[in-house]
Amino acid sequence: MTIWFDFNEDWLFDGERLVCLPHNAMDLPFHYFDEKAYQRTFSYEKRFSVPEAWRGQEITLHVEAAMADARVFLNDTLICRHPDGYTPFEVSLTAGLVAGENRITIVVDGTENPAIPPFGGQIDYLTYAGIYREVWIKVAAPVSVGGVKIETPSQTALTAHVSLANPRGLDLDGVIVARLVGPDGPVAQMSTPVQADTAVVCFDALTDVQLWDLETPVLYRLELELETPHGRDELVQRFGFRTLRFDTDGFRLNGRKIKLVGLNRHQSFPYVGYALGREAQRRDAEILKRDLRINIVRTSHYPQSRHFLDACDELGLLVFEEIPGWQHIGDADWKSASVDNLRAMIRRDWNHPSIVLWGVRINESQDDHEFYAQTNRVARDLDPTRPTAGVRYITHSECLEDVFAFNDFFLGQEEFNPARPRQPLRSQREVTGLEHDLPYLVTEFNGHMYPTKVFDQEQRQAEHVLRHLSVLDAAFRDPSFAGAIGWCAFDYNTHKDFGSGDRICHHGVMDMFREPKFAAHVYASQSDPDQGAVLVPVTYWSRGERNMGGVLPLIILTNCDEVCLQLPGADPLWFRPDRDTFGHLPHPPVIIRAEDVERGGIGVWGMSWGGAEFTGFVAGQAVVSRCFAADPLPTRTEIVADALSIRAGASLRVIARVLDQAGNKLPFFMDPMSITVEGAATLLGPDIVPCRGGSVGFWLRATGPGHVRVAVETARLGVATTTIEVL
C-alpha cells in the first residue's frame, strides 16, 4: 500500500537554520524592494534514516513545487533537475539510499534564467525563490497505481485510464478492483484483469448520477485497488460528472448557458511570496466564490496550488489554467520546456472538474504557428475532454485553439486617443478579423488601464467601479462573448518595470491582504439576492473628498430591487437600478444623480452635513441597510481571523479594521498598529505596520498545538484581541 510521508519539517536552510515547508527563501518588505534579492541559489538539506519497513519498497521524493530551477542530491549525488517553478516533480531514491543516515539536498536557483519559461523577457509578477509547496516521501510496493485519468463522456459513463508504476519492469498478472462512490455512498464496482502498465476501466449505464455544477458541486470518488503478485496498492481519486461546451453563442455547463464572470488570480501574498500552504490557498478560492461571487478564475499565468484547485472543485468555481509565460517566447529549447510544462500541468490537473479550459499559449505572446500547433496537439492528445484557449492581446491573431481568448484593454484608450469612442469592449470580429464568430472569451480588462489603490480618492474608486461595470455590461450584452475575466482579483508585488514604482500593481479589486476596494462589490452585486443582499454605496460619505465636494453622482452597488435613502429630517428618497445605463447586467447599480435629489438636498462643500441611512428592498421587504456617520471618528478596532481553530503548520489570515461609530472602515486612518502574537503561532511579516485603507492584514503560521492570542494596538484605540486554537 502506498504511504505518503509528510517530509516538510526540519530542513536545514542555507546551512543556517531549520525551516518548515512551504518556505520562501527570501522574505520581502511589503513594497519598495529589490527583486534581485532572491535571484540566487539557496540550499535545503534534510537528514533521515530509512525505516526497516521501507526495505524492498519503491521510495520516491515528491516535490510539489520549487522555484525556479531545482537540483536534487541524494547523499551528494545529483539525482534530478527540475527547471520549472510551477509543476511537481518526482525522483526515485530507491537505488541511492544507504543503511543509516541519508541526506537529501535540494538546491534551488531563483535566478530568472532566460532558458526557463517564463523568463527571457520581462514579466509583470514575481517568481519568489524557494520550496514553496509541500514535499513528500512516497513509499510504494514495486508495482503500484501510478495515476489515473478519469473521463466522463456523459452523465451515465466513466472511463478511467489507469497507469501502473512498475519501475523494475516486473511481470504483471493482477487485477484492479474499481469502486465508484458518490455523495450518498457506493454506486458501482467492477474488476479488470491487468497484464500491462496501463489499464482502462469503464463504467456505463450509470443511473442517477448527480452532476457537478456551480451551485451543487457534487464530487465522486473512484477507489482503485490493485492486486498483483508483487503486493497490494490503493489509490483514491476525486472527480465530478459534468459537460461543458464553448460555442459561438457562449458557454454551457451541463447544457445550461452561463455567462462567465471572473477575475485573474496571482498566487502571491505579502512578505512570503508564494509560500503559503493549504489554508491560505483554499481561503482565496472561498473569497472568490463566496465574497466576490464570481463563477470563473484564471490562474494567471501558471499552474497554481492543488489546494486552490481542490477548493474550486468543492466550491463550484470554474478555472482557466494556463502554462507559465508572459509575452516572451524563447528559442527551440525554451519552447520544448514550455511543452513539458504543459504536459506536467495537464497530467497533474486533469481530474479537477472545476477546470474548463487549458491555456496553451504564452500569455500575450505573438503568433508562432509551429509552437502553438504543437501545444494544441499535446493538450488535445492528453485530454480530449477539455477545450484549449490561448490568451493574446494582438488582433487578427491566428487561432489554433478551441476558444479565442483576448485581453481587451480598449476601455480607457480614449483618454490617450480622443478620436476613439469610449467603448468597453471591442466586438469579437474586430478583434479576430474574421467574417464569422468563434467561441470567444475576454480574459483581461482594466488592470493597468486604471490602477486604483485601496486608499485612493473616492472619485477614482467610483470610476474604477464604473469601468468594471461597463465591461461586464458589454460582455452580457453580446451573446457571442462567453464572458469576461477582469484584471485582477488581488493587488500583487511585481518587478520594477511595472506597477506604481513601489513594486506593487494596484490592479486588484482587493488589496494584497484581500480587503475589498469598492470595485470588488461590482462582482458580488451581480449575484441573486438569495445568496445575500448586497448594498454598497460607493462613498465614504463626506462633503469634501471628491473634487468640488459632495458625493454625487453616487453609485450604489446592489442586487436589491429598490433602495431607500433616509437623510436626517427629510422625506425618504426612493431609487431603482439604472437599467438605462447598465441594462444588460443581471443587477444594474442604482445611480443617484444631482438632478434626482434636488428636493432632498444631499449637502455639498460648505453646506451642513448629516448622516445617512440606505436600505435595500427585495420584493417589497427591507433586507439590508447601511448607515453613515456625519462626523466619523475612530471608535473601535475590529479584529477578524479567517478561522478560530486551525491545524499545526497551517497559515491563517487576520484582518484588523479601524471602524467609526456606524461600523464603517475609516479609509484614511493611517496610524501605526503593533501586532503581538503569543502562544502556538508565529507572525509572518513585520510587527509594526501602518493602517492602509483603514485596516491591516497579516498571516500567522501555527506552530501548535495550543492557544494563540493575537493583539493589535493603536495609540488611540488601545488593544483589540482574538484567540485562536491550534489543534
Q: Which residues, including other chains, have CB under 8 Å from residue 518's CB and lie 6 or more apart?
A: 461, 462, 464, 465, 536, 538, 557
Nearest to 541 by CA among 668, 724, 704, 440: 668
Task: Give how many residues touch ligand GAL by CB under 6 A.
Answer: 11
Cell 489515473, located at residue: 148
Q: Which of 174, 330, 447, 694 binds ligand GAL (CB under 6 A)?
A: 447
Per CB under 6 A, contacts with ligand GAL among 488-527 are: 507
Binding mask 115-154 for ligand GAL (x = CB under 6 A): ---------x------------------------------
Q: Which is nearer to ligand GAL, 252 or 448 (CB)?
A: 448
Q: Which stretch binds ligand GAL (CB under 6 A): 2-10, 176-184, 442-450, 709-717?
A: 442-450
- Please choose, from the candidates 617, 612, 620, 630, the residue with its C-alpha nearest in 3D space to the C-alpha of residue 590: 617
**Min dist. Cβ of residue 477 to ligand GAL (A):** 23
Q: Residue 327 CB, nearest distance to ligand GAL (Å)?
A: 8
CA atoms within 13 A on the CB side of 466: 17
Backbone angles phi, psi at 253, to 5 degrees: -115, 125
**Contact string 83-112 vs ligand GAL (x = CB under 6 A):** ------------------------------
Cβ at position 471, least distance to ligand GAL in Å = 13
Provide the minimum distance between the beta carbon of 94 and ligand GAL in the complex, in angstroms, as a whole number. 42
Q: Sketch the per residue contact string, 605 through 644, with ligand GAL: x for CB under 6 A, - otherwise.
A: ----------------------------------------
Half-sphere exposure of 50 (CA within 13 A, CB side): 23
Q: How far apart are CA 342 and CA 382, in angstroms?
A: 10
Cα→Cα distances 22→106, 272, 281, Å: 14, 10, 12
Q: What x-and-dash track marks residues 380-399 binding ligand GAL by CB under 6 A?
A: -------------x------
- Cell numbers placing 207: 443511473
Comparing CB distances to ligand GAL, the nearer of 351 and 365 is 365
CB-wise, 265 or 653, nearer to ligand GAL?
Answer: 265
Residue 464 sits in the site that holds ligand GAL (CB under 6 A): no
Q: At what angle do helices 306-315 and 332-349 cross, to 10 degrees?
A: 40
Pairing assessment for the beta strands 706-714 and 718-726 based on DSSP bridges: antiparallel
Does residue 5 sit in helix, strand or coil?
strand
- The interaxial angle of helices 278-286 and 306-315, nearest 10 deg, is 40
Contact 665, 541 (CB under 8 A): no
Collapse the DSSP code of 590 into the 3-class scheme (helix H, G, I; strand E, B; otherwise coil) and give the result. Answer: strand
Report if residue 408 touches ligand GAL, rule: CB under 6 A.
no
- CA neighbor of 5 nearest in space, from 78, 44, 54: 54
Q: How far is the CB of 458 from ligand GAL (least distance, A)?
A: 23
**679-708 residues near ligand GAL, rule: CB under 6 A:** none
Quick one: 349 or 444, whose CB is closer to ligand GAL? 444
- Give the phi and the psi of residue 130 in degrees, each rounded to 5: 135, 170
Asked whether the bond before 705 is cis by omega within 30 degrees of 0, the reply is yes
Q: Quick one: which segment of 207-215, 270-278, 372-380, 443-451 binds ligand GAL (CB under 6 A)?
A: 443-451
Alpha-carbon gap, residue 384 to 387, rounded angstroms: 8
558: β partners: 535
Nearer to ligand GAL, 33 or 393 (CB): 393
Binding pattern for the stretch 540-579 against ligand GAL, x by CB under 6 A and - elsewhere: ----------------------------------------
Give the H or E element holding residue 305.
Answer: none
Residue 317 identity: L
> In the set 448, 460, 584, 636, which binds ligand GAL (CB under 6 A)?
448
Residue with the shortest CB distance to ligand GAL:
447
421 CB-contact burial (10 Å; exposed 0-12 / middle 13-18 / buried 19+): exposed
Query: In the beta sheet, which residues pair with residue 295?
Result: none
CB closer to ligand GAL out of 407 and 432 = 407
Near ligand GAL by CB under 6 A: residue from 86, 372, 440, 487: 487
Give the range of 56-64, 444-452, 458-466, 629-637 binding ligand GAL by CB under 6 A: 444-452
Please state, as a whole number, how many other Cβ atoms lie within 10 Å of the Cβ of residue 630.
Answer: 16
**In the bound complex, what is the minimum distance in angstroms from residue 461's beta carbon to ligand GAL?**
18
CB 118 within 8 A of CB 301: yes
Our CB check for ligand GAL shows the closer of 322 and 383 to be: 322
Query: Which segments of 470-607 are extended strands (E)?
Result: 481-486, 492-493, 504-505, 535-537, 554-558, 562-566, 573-575, 590-592
Q: How large is the greatest C-alpha to C-alpha distance in the chain, in angstroms?
A: 89
DSSP state of 143: S
User: Rule CB under 6 A: which of 317-346 touch ligand GAL?
Assistant: none
CB of 502 to ligand GAL, least distance (A): 15
To ligand GAL, the closest distance from the beta carbon of 329 in angstroms equals: 14
Q: By C-alpha distance, which of 214, 154, 206, 202 is closest to 178?
A: 202
Residue number, 239 or 410, with CB nearest to ligand GAL: 410
- Report the candidate in 473, 512, 472 with the shortest Cα–Cα distance to residue 491: 512
CA distance 522 to 472: 9
How many residues are present in the chain? Answer: 727
Which x/- pattern over 347-386 shows residues binding ligand GAL (rule: CB under 6 A)?
Answer: ----------------xx----------------------
> Taking the complex as a whole, how short is the minimal distance between the CB of residue 498 and ligand GAL, in angstroms?
6
Cβ proximity to ligand GAL: between 44 and 487 the closer is 487
Residues with a catalytic annotation lie at 364, 444
Listed in sequence order, the residues at least 6 apart from 257 whose beta carbon sits closer than 8 Å to its beta carbon are: 249, 250, 251
Specify the residue, 221 or 448, whose C-beta has the smaller distance to ligand GAL. 448
Least Cβ distance, residue 211 to ligand GAL (angstroms): 33
Provide, rounded to whole angstroms, the least separation between the CB of residue 516 and ligand GAL. Answer: 19
Please state, in angstroms and rounded to a whole number, the distance separating the CA atoms of residues 508 and 522: 13
Report DSSP state, residue 450: S
Pattern 223-252, ligand GAL, x by CB under 6 A: ------------------------------
CB of 300 or CB of 375, closer to ligand GAL: 300
2, 8, 375, 407: residue in contact with ligand GAL (rule CB under 6 A): 407
Q: Which of residues 299-318 bind ligand GAL (CB under 6 A)?
A: 300
| Binding status of residue 444 toward ligand GAL by CB under 6 A | yes
Region near ligand GAL per CB under 6 A, out of 57-65, 97-105, 440-448, 674-682: 440-448
Residue type at 82 in one-letter notation: H
Closest alpha carbon to 316 in 357, 355, 284, 346? 355
- Give the nearer residue to ligand GAL in terms of CB position, either 105 or 304: 304
> Minimum distance between the CB of residue 410 and ligand GAL, rounded to whole angstroms?
13
The residues of the shown chain that bind ligand GAL, judged by CB under 6 A, are 124, 300, 363-364, 393, 407, 444, 447-448, 487, 507
